Structure 1
Amino acid sequence: MTIQPRRPVGDPVVLDDRERLSFRVDRRAYTDDDLAAAEMARIFDRCWLYVGHESEVPVAGSYVARDVGGRPVVMARGSDGVIRVFANSCPHRGALICTQPAGQARSFRCPYHDWTFSNRGDLVGVPIPDGYGPGFRKADFGLAQHRSDSYRGFVFVTFDPRQPRSLTGYLAGATEYLDLIDDQSEVGMEVIQGAQLHGARANWKLMMENSVDIYHFRALHKRYVGYMESLGSVPPRRRGGFGRALGLGHGANELPPAAARPLAYWTPMFGESVRPRIEATAARFVDRFGAARAERITHTNRALLIFPNLMIIDAIAITIRKIDPVGAGQMAITSVALAPRDEDPEIRELRKSHYLTFLGPAGFATPDDIEIVESCQRGYLNRAVRYSDLSRGMDKEVPETTDELPAREFWRQWDRLMHGDDGHLDLAHRAELQGADPR
């Protein structure tokens, strides 16, 4: 049996050598339980995290309940029309106050002791109130409200009361791409009802890398490429487009018209019958935004990564994909489709069909992606290979979509936050003290 040498205390996880054009990530970042626990404290407890879209709570009293950053929360539009994000936990004894994934309610009732809260989070009802002393005040026991904000309909929350950045400041260059997405409707965008909930036996960061990786498209998704070509359509070219680092861990890949050729997607996949309506919409966009911006909005495919765990894939259909860690070797994935609120009904049905055909859990692409990230996770069990390489395109002034710039931007922010003010020494040192191999 070969004994692997113990790694030195303080051994870095991300090796970013810009002079040698080398970017490597230690594979323990995907497998180490201590690192996974530290991510929750240093990243998910500190960053702005995506909760949902304003269209999911369209009227007063509507709500959605979901986990965000490992915490159960409720996003509710109160009777005053304001959207708030609450801890989904009764301040009395801690039970979930909302057990349904979505609905409409004037109030939330805790099933444990019937404490009742308004949809604005105020405690409004307590059974047998004379059991409490004179100092008991309902105002002291409202639902805990998290700091939240929205940009172009996308709602985010932070659990860090000292988070110094506003949401807009945190999003940095990603706002440009959220604008391009939201401007696709003349009256606003909406999440199509229904969500795909699934997972993978792999580290969450592998799916973040995969979702912004165009390099694998023709290699991994051969069945889909063949399907598109059998219809007479033109799949994305292997080369072309560009990747961008948008700051603070965010990144994007963009296929402009010359590379994407969008009408080739719509015809024959969407059919000639809807082509005149699509072209009429594009013409109106020229009047609204000018020719250059209209073309970018309507004729460009893009994949946007918002650090840490949100992907928006805008190609054929618009997919919002939230990827949550469940320990070091498992993830939970929530996917929904976004579309113009005023969309032609026939085009909407076609959009939904192609969303499921490609990006649905049983579609052409997603099973391939899940299988390959699980394959990577299993491959990491052989520790003879210590690093993964993400250096593709480091020698280019303008990296292409098949290069790995967005993934490097993600990892650089991951590394900064994981180091914090106390560096990376503590995790490796703790493993050494416990007699474990810090790999």
Structure 2
Amino acid sequence: MNAPAPPNTRPIPLSELPVVWSDKEKHRFKVARRSFVDPEILKTEYDTIFNKCWLYVGHESELVKNGDFVTRIIAKRSVLFTKDATGKINAFFNACPHRGAQVCRERKGNAKSFQCFYHGWVFGSDGKLKSQPGSECYPDDFNADGQANLVSVPRIDSYRGFWFICFDREVQSLPDYLAGAKEWIDIVADQSETMMTLVGGTQEYQIRANWKLLTENSIDGYHAINTHATYVDYLKNSQGSMSPVPFEGTGYDLGNGHAVIEYRAPWGRPVAQWIPLWGEEGKVELEKVHARLVERFGKERADRIAFSNRNMFIFPNLVINDIMAITVRTYYPTAPDAMQVFGWALAPNEESTWARKYRLSNFLEFLGPGGFATPDDVEALEQCQRGFESMLEAPWSDISKGMKKEKVNYDDELQMRAFWTRWQECTKARAAAPSVVPNQGDQA
């Protein structure tokens, strides 16, 4: 009698492979690479994640004056983000209730009202219909029920100046949704005594890779020394800042798919980590900044704000990097192998001219699209996407680093596992039982 076939040797059709597989006892975690290329999975992500979760729409500093507005594409919808004449912040679908044309075609500005160019309907910054050509042809009570006003996004709320919207009216409250991420958002917001503010315009670019690759990359300390070796060499050779502060830190699962790595690093931070390149003027300036932080929060928290770096991810697509400068970044998939990325620099509104100069220098030097980091990261993500062309023969990505440890390092992969676990919960993608061990050869 023939012996039974060993388990897991039968070729498995690719479409039947589980998407997320975890075996905590053996400290293994894998993700099916088809999740990065399958159009049906992308459709499911929009249905179950982008249509259901809180999404970042803008920062309070973009709407300072009554009448200020910003338009953005959020999860394929055109959204009008406004501060009305009463000071209330609103989010409307940027589509005329008459025939659907975009009501506001400008990226940002200040206006008391918006006029649809197609038929001339006029709406206030509160979204209410103010006038319409040929109004005598409509009944007197035409808009008594408000049906001719701009349609409000179902939910809008903010935390510490960061505004979010959600297309699902039944979503949990924003504070509950943010869970443990609030602590790290507080650390960023507390850097200003008045208001954090976006500096300059929007940086916008495309990456030919799946959006989840940028999620992984944004909270991945493992790749930094290797992928960004040129920047590390630059720090050693030009800033005189490499030896005193080594890279070291910890990763955290913040709940609901959010995660962060917090770590020490050798670069200068205008919030108050001085480097010799910045000279005595910079040293005096940053000592004042640090002293004020100590006065406000005590030395322990002041040191954490000033000397620790944070790469924070808010599920599903918001990144706040508080490192040598602060960047806020969102990204949306436009295809299984493409995404649109939007980035902004953030800074304390009241910081000195000197600090702002070096903050923006740091931002452009490392974080901007033409800096040391972003081109490296884009190349890495696009190389991954090209590598997925062999997923029939090599269908799994491994995200197991650090699973066997109680306290993970900043360069372990707990953060990515937090994302993928929440992703699986939202999409209800098929997960494998730990007893089923996925091998690279399991495919049709």
- Give unmatched runs, 5+ long, in structure 1: 426-437
> What is the CA–CA distance in structure 1 between the aligned matches of 2:228 and 2:184, rounded to whole Å?
25
> What is the CA–CA distance in structure 1 between the aligned matches of 2:245 and 2:218, rounded to whole Å?
17
> What is the CA–CA distance in structure 2 between the aligned matches of 1:405 and 1:82, rounded to whole Å?
39
Q: Is the 8 A contact 1:51 1:157 kept in 2?
A: yes
> What is the CA–CA distance in structure 1 between the aligned matches of 2:280 and 2:326, rounded to whole Å?
21
Aligned-partner residue type, residue 413 of structure 1: R
Matches for 1:416-435 after TM superposition, within 5 Å:
416-419=425-428, 424=430
Q: Secondary structure at the match of 2:390?
A: coil
More moved, 230-239 vs 105-114: 230-239
> What is the CA–CA distance in structure 1 between the aligned matches of 2:196 and 2:139, rounded to whole Å?
50
> What is the CA–CA distance in structure 2 between the aligned matches of 1:354 and 1:255, rounded to whole Å?
18
Aligned-partner residue type, residue 143 of structure 2: R
Report the Cα offset of residue 7 of structure 1: 2.0
Matches for 1:172-251 after TM superposition, within 5 Å:
172-231=179-238, 232-234=240-242, 240-251=248-259
Aligned-partner residue type, residue 399 of structure 2: L
The residue number in structure 2 matching 1:72 is: 78
Aligned-partner residue type, residue 427 of structure 2: M
Residues 5 and 126 of structure 1, relative CA distance in 2, 3 Å threshold:
farther
> What is the CA–CA distance in structure 2 between the aligned matches of 1:236 and 1:78, rounded to whole Å?
50
> What is the CA–CA distance in structure 1 between the aligned matches of 2:411 and 2:298, rounded to whole Å?
29
1:365 aligns with 2:373: yes
Residues 15 and 424 of structure 1, relative CA distance in 2, 3 Å threshold:
closer
CA offset digits 1:348-396 (Å, max 9, x no partner): 0111111001011111110000011000000000121111011100111
Report the Cα offset of residue 221 of structure 1: 0.9
The residue number in structure 2 matching 1:409 is: 418
1:100 aligns with 2:106: yes
> What is the CA–CA distance in structure 2 between the aligned matches of 1:51 and 1:236, rounded to whole Å?
39
Aligned-partner residue type, residue 237 of structure 2: S
1:278 corresponds to which of 277, 286, 299: 286
The residue number in structure 2 matching 1:89 is: 95
Q: Is the 8 A contact 2:267 2:275 kept in 1?
A: no
Q: Is the 8 A contact 1:255 1:302 kept in 2?
A: yes
1:330 corresponds to which of 320, 338, 348: 338
Report the Cα offset of residue 240 of structure 1: 2.1
> What is the CA–CA distance in structure 1 between the aligned matches of 2:246 and 2:291, rounded to whole Å?
29
Residues 235 and 252 of structure 1, relative CA distance in 2, 3 Å threshold:
farther
> What is the CA–CA distance in structure 2 between the aligned matches of 1:174 and 1:91, rounded to whole Å?
37
> What is the CA–CA distance in structure 1 between the aligned matches of 2:268 and 2:365, rounded to whole Å?
17
The residue number in structure 2 matching 1:433 is: none
Q: Is the 8 A contact 2:247 2:266 kept in 1?
A: no
| Identical positions, percent | 43
Aligned-partner residue type, residue 241 of structure 1: G
> What is the CA–CA distance in structure 1 between the aligned matches of 2:379 and 2:246, rounded to whole Å?
22
> What is the CA–CA distance in structure 1 between the aligned matches of 2:52 and 2:29, rounded to whole Å?
26
Report the Cα offset of residue 20 of structure 1: 1.1
Residues 5 and 99 of structure 1, relative CA distance in 2, 3 Å threshold:
farther
1:390 aligns with 2:399: yes
Q: Is the 8 A contact 1:262 1:300 kept in 2?
A: no
More moved, 8-17 vs 382-391: 8-17
Q: Is the 8 A contact 2:219 2:313 kept in 1?
A: yes
Report the Cα offset of residue 235 of structure 1: 7.9
1:292 aligns with 2:291: no
> What is the CA–CA distance in structure 2 between the aligned matches of 1:328 and 1:68, rounded to whole Å?
17
Residues 161 and 372 of structure 1, relative CA distance in 2, 3 Å threshold:
same
RMSD: 2.0
Report the Cα offset of residue 6 of structure 1: 5.2
TM-score where L is the length of structure 2: 0.90
Report the Cα offset of residue 236 of structure 1: 9.9
Q: Is the 8 A contact 1:265 1:316 kept in 2?
A: no
Residues 326 and 8 of structure 1, relative CA distance in 2, 3 Å threshold:
closer
The residue number in structure 1 matching 2:261 is: 253
TM-score where L is the length of structure 1: 0.91
The residue number in structure 1 matching 2:178 is: 171
Report the Cα offset of residue 265 of structure 1: 6.3
Report the Cα offset of residue 271 of structure 1: 3.6
Number of corresponding residues? 418
Q: Secondary structure at the match of 2:200?
A: coil
Q: Is the 8 A contact 1:324 1:333 kept in 2?
A: yes
- Give unmatched runs, 5+ long, in structure 2: 1-9, 432-442
Aligned-partner residue type, residue 196 of structure 2: M
Report the Cα offset of residue 270 of structure 1: 3.5
Q: Is the 8 A contact 1:260 1:300 kept in 2?
A: no
CA offset digits 1:144-168 (Å, max 9, x no partner): 11110000000000000111x1100
1:128 aligns with 2:134: yes
Q: Secondary structure at the match of 1:112?
A: coil
Q: Is the 8 A contact 1:225 1:235 kept in 2?
A: no
> What is the CA–CA distance in structure 2 between the aligned matches of 1:417 and 1:227, rounded to whole Å?
42
The residue number in structure 2 matching 1:7 is: 13
CA offset digits 1:312-342 (Å, max 9, x no partner): 1111110001111112110011110000000
Q: Is the 8 A contact 1:62 1:76 kept in 2?
A: yes
> What is the CA–CA distance in structure 2 between the aligned matches of 1:260 and 1:179, rounded to whole Å?
23
2:408 corresponds to which of 396, 399, 407: 399
Report the Cα offset of residue 228 of structure 1: 1.1
> What is the CA–CA distance in structure 2 between the aligned matches of 1:132 and 1:227, rounded to whole Å?
68
CA offset digits 1:57-85 (Å, max 9, x no partner): 11100011011122110110111001111
> What is the CA–CA distance in structure 2 between the aligned matches of 1:236 and 1:99, rounded to whole Å?
51
The residue number in structure 1 matching 2:355 is: 347
